[in-house]
């Protein structure tokens, strides 16, 4: 044994900075969440074009996922990694670049999303220059992490570090694959993939963003901070190994459960279901391992607020990961999908698991790094209770709203017609639940603000230890001996660990995606489906800019209740030119895939000007700016060219005829509106949007028409 102790210090400053960022962005992200929750009850709160629900909802999700939880991950990883490796972070400069780079990325999200610069792909809404910045900063994080691991003084890699490595590798793969896009301008791009393929890639990403951004890094933190807070080793290290490999292996397959009953090929849907059910085992393995770590110290849970937060976090994790597999059963999904049930589900995970584990970690870290006691355990207990009440007041009304609305959507009268043919009726029915949800959110945020105050006072009372002195013997070169176990070989070698994790997660992704991309017959083409006209393409971009897809799906599922309400169910072949796909994931308003031709142009005109003109008590905001602004056609030709490069068969030279064709189509709409006594200039944005909405889902109607004509 080497007895030469090496002296070094842990960098606490970077941890503290990330903690500040976690708290500040947490409060901001949650306030945006509260705002959009209130907008659903009081539509008047959609105060400006940059303040509508459609534009703020992506800001909320990005802020809480990447700003709140993201900074939380970095806080916890930068603290625990140094201690588990018995080494200071590899480079203080890289730590700083990681910190400031990440905050700049968040600021650029704040500066783009509310102004309509979005790719529309959920949790990947940021436009391509920001995507590149994310890639660079993520590489900096990985570089710093691996540098630290390589110069560690502890031979073995504790299980928490495995989770960090898997997180780094998988997030990198997910981000790169899902962000492939064709830039048109500095802040506009089109997804490389179209329709069904785009949907598959997006939900492979979306689901694994939950898995590898909200779950695996936090499990790593759990494996470090729960034993620390309880001052006992983890219940079963054996279980943690099984937990790790099974979790990362199975999670990557489960994405298609977001697309059940859609136009995604059925075999891919079934694969998603099977793996989602299997996921229950490792998830609960992890939860039990965390909770059982507290065996024998449950008396401490009554007094120690850190443990209280962690117990509720683990319980919420257990509930959410039980519910997830249930939601991916096709019969449950048929009821839950597109409703507030899913919103409840993610918030049990987000508020309970991520939120409470973060709070527990912060209450543990701040007093420790400031070498003092927590300013007020009374306030911390208040936070615990008001936060728990907040989760309950959030989740229960949302479950209720989900059940009620879904039942109303599916109810038929004895005569065989829909009992609630007016979608709006099913919305007004659950408005009270929306109000209660906002109350739950408000309670939760109150707790977070109290925590911020408590931590601030704690920091004031203590003295910050910027560089925590430590000592450890240098690591000895270990010579591999014959017959040693392969897993220990991996554990000693972090790079092997990385490669192994990468292989494990790639298997699932490849088996799912390669057939969908290579086997042409997976997406039967429909000859009558044609590319959008230039005006419709511009209208589609307005639909994306306003974030319509946050409340409206474009996917009629093959159920009687849906075909009776919306029309013919959606076919895979109808989306082949949709870069990006716009299927949506939530129906706060009705599905729009068959909206084309359903109402006259004047209906859309009035509805967009003031939804209450056509639909009393609608909670949709008005869009008056679409009527003032001229449609920006300066990039239309570039957009068409970009689409052609992506494989959309626009005829050659189409760019030259765009102007005449757009004017012709726009004039047609204007003339049609004039019949209903509406006077409007043909160059306004609303005209393009109407053109797009009237086109939606009509291509197969053309086919039916020609078929009947031919008879």
Partner 1 sequence: MLKYIKQHMASIAGIEIYPVISFVIFFLFFLVVALWVVKGNKDYFSKMSALPLEEENK
Which parts of this chain interact with partner 1 (CB under 8 A)?
A: 80, 83-84, 154, 156, 158-160, 223-224, 227-228, 231-234, 236-238, 240-242, 245-246, 249-250, 253, 265-267, 270-271, 274-275, 278, 470, 485, 487-488, 504, 507-508, 511, 515, 519, 521-522, 524, 558
Whether residue 189 contacts residue 181, with contact meaning beta carbons closer than 8 Å, is answered with yes
CB of 540 to partner 1, least distance (A): 27
CB-nearer residue toward partner 1: 393 or 581: 581
- Find all residues with CB under 8 Å of 209, minimum gap 6, and list them: 65, 123, 124, 171, 174
CB of 401 to partner 1, least distance (A): 28
First to last CA, the chain: 91
CB-nearer residue toward partner 1: 84 or 497: 84
CB of 522 to partner 1, least distance (A): 7
CB-nearer residue toward partner 1: 233 or 653: 233
User: Radius of gyration of the chain from Cα atoms?
Assistant: 27
* H helices, E strands: number in the chain: 30, 4
CB of 261 to partner 1, least distance (A): 9
CB-nearer residue toward partner 1: 155 or 705: 155
Whether residue 532 contacts residue 577, with contact meaning beta carbons closer than 8 Å, is answered with yes
The vertex-142 CA angle with 141 and 146, nearest 5°, equals: 120
The pair of structure tokens assigned to 264 is 């995604």
CB-nearer residue toward partner 1: 270 or 641: 270
CB-nearer residue toward partner 1: 558 or 624: 558
CB-nearer residue toward partner 1: 80 or 601: 80
Kindly write down the DSSP assignment for every residue of 403-465, as one continuous string. HHHHHHHH-B-TTSSBS--SHHHHHHTTHHHHHHHHHHHHHHHHHHHHHHHHHHHHHHHS---
CA 255 to chain centre: 12
CB of 477 to partner 1, least distance (A): 19
Q: How far apart are CA 604 and CA 127, in angstroms?
A: 29
CB-nearer residue toward partner 1: 485 or 679: 485
CA 69 to chain centre: 12
CB of 16 to partner 1, least distance (A): 18
CB of 256 to partner 1, least distance (A): 12
CB of 264 to partner 1, least distance (A): 9
CB of 456 to partner 1, least distance (A): 27
CB-nearer residue toward partner 1: 524 or 649: 524
What 3-state class would DSSP assign to 371? Answer: coil
Q: Is cis: bond before 584, omega within 30 of 0?
A: no
Conformational region of residue 342, where left means phi above 0, alpha means psi within -120 to 50, and beta covers everything else:
alpha
CB-nearer residue toward partner 1: 92 or 266: 266
The vertex-148 CA angle with 145 and 150, nearest 5°, equals: 110
Q: What values do phi and psi take at 393, rounded to 5?
A: -70, -25
CB-nearer residue toward partner 1: 266 or 707: 266
Q: How far apart are CA 394 and CA 442, in angstroms?
A: 9
Which DSSP letter does residue 569 get?
P
Q: How far apart are CA 594 and CA 557, in angstroms?
A: 12
Find the helix or strand (DSSP H, E) in which 12 lies: none
CB of 327 to partner 1, least distance (A): 20
CB of 487 to partner 1, least distance (A): 5
Which DSSP letter does residue 191 get?
E
CA max distance for the chain: 93
Q: How far apart are CA 699 and CA 601, in angstroms?
A: 18
CB-nearer residue toward partner 1: 161 or 690: 161
CB of 555 to partner 1, least distance (A): 14
Cα dihedral 541→542→545→549 (10° resolution): -90
CB-nearer residue toward partner 1: 271 or 595: 271
CB of 595 to partner 1, least distance (A): 22
CB of 271 to partner 1, least distance (A): 6
Q: How far apart are CA 68 and CA 445, in angstroms?
A: 13
CB-nearer residue toward partner 1: 3 or 660: 3
Distances (CA, A) of 343 to 147, 172, 402, 708: 39, 26, 9, 44
């Amino acid at each position: 044994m080497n007895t030469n102790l090496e002296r070094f210090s842990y960098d606490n400053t970077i941890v503290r900075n990330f903690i500040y960022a976690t708290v500040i962005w947490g409060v901001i992200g949650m306030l945006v969440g509260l705002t959009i929750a209130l907008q659903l009850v009081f539509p008047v709160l959609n105060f400006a074009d940059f303040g509508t629900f459609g534009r703020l909802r992506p800001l909320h999700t990005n802020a809480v996922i990447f700003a709140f939880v993201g900074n939380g991950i970095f806080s916890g990883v930068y603290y625990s990694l140094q201690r588990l490796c018995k080494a200071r972070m590899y480079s203080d400069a890289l730590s700083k670049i990681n910190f400031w780079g990440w905050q700049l990325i968040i600021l650029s999200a704040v500066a783009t999303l509310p102004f309509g610069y979005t790719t529309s792909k959920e949790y990947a809404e940021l436009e391509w220059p920001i995507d590149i910045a994310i890639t660079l900063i993520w590489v900096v994080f990985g570089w710093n992490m691996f540098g630290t691991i390589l110069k560690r003084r502890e031979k073995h890699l504790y299980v928490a570090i495995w989770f960090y490595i898997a997180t780094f590798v998988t997030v990198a793969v997910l981000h790169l694959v899902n962000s492939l896009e064709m830039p048109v301008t500095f802040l506009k791009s089109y997804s490389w993939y179209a329709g069904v393929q785009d949907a598959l890639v997006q939900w492979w990403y979306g689901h694994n963003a939950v898995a590898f951004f909200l779950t695996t890094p936090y499990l790593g933190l759990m494996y470090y901070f729960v034993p620390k807070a309880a001052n006992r080793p983890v219940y079963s290290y054996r279980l943690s190994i099984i937990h790790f490999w099974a979790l990362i292996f199975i999670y990557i397959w489960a994405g298609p459960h977001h697309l059940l009953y859609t136009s995604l090929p059925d075999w891919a849907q079934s694969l998603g279901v099977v793996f989602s059910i299997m996921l229950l085992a490792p998830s609960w393995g992890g939860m039990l391992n965390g909770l059982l770590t507290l065996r024998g110290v449950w008396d401490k849970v009554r007094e120690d607020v850190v443990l209280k937060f962690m117990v509720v976090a683990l319980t919420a994790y257990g509930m959410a990961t039980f519910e997830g597999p249930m939601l991916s059963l096709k019969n449950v999904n048929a009821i839950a999908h597109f409703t507030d049930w899913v919103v409840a589900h993610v918030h049990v995970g987000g508020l309970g698991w991520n939120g409470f584990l973060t709070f527990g970690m912060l209450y543990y870290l701040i007093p420790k790094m400031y070498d003092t006691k927590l300013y007020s355990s009374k306030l911390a207990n208040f936070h615990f209770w008001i936060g728990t009440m907040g989760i309950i007041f959030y989740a229960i009304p949302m479950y209720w709203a989900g059940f009620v609305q879904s039942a109303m959507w599916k109810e038929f009268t004895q005569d065989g017609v829909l009992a609630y043919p007016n979608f709006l009726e099913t919305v007004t029915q659950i408005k009270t639940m929306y109000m209660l949800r906002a109350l739950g959110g408000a309670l939760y945020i109150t707790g977070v603000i109290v925590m911020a105050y408590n931590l601030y006072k704690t920091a004031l009372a203590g003295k910050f230890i910027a560089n925590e002195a430590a000592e450890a013997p240098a690591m000895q070169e270990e010579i591999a001996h014959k017959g040693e176990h392969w897993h220990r070989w991996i554990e000693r070698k972090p790079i092997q660990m990385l490669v192994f994790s990468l292989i494990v997660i790639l298997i699932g992704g490849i088996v799912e995606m390669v057939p969908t991309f290579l086997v042409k017959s997976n997406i039967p083409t429909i000859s009558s489906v044609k590319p959008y006209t230039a005006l419709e393409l511009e209208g589609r971009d307005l639909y994306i800019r306003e974030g319509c897809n946050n409340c409206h799906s474009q996917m009629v599922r093959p159920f009687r209740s849906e075909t009776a309400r919306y029309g013919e169910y959606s076919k895979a072949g109808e989306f082949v030119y949709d870069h990006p796909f716009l299927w949506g994931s939530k129906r706060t308003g009705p599905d729009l895939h068959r909206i084309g031709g359903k109402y006259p142009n004047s209906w859309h005109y009035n509805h967009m000007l003031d939804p209450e003109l056509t639909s009393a008590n609608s909670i949709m905001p008005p869009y008056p700016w679409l009527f003032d602004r001229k449609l920006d056609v300066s990039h239309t030709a570039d957009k068409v060219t970009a689409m052609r490069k992506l494989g959309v068969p626009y005829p050659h030279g189409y760019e030259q005829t765009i102007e005449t064709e757009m004017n012709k189509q726009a004039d047609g709409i204007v003339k049609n509106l004039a019949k209903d006594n509406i006077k409007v200039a043909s160059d306004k944005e609303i005209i393009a949007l109407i053109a797009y909405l009237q086109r939606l889902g009509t291509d197969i109607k053309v086919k039916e028409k020609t078929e009947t004509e031919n008879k």
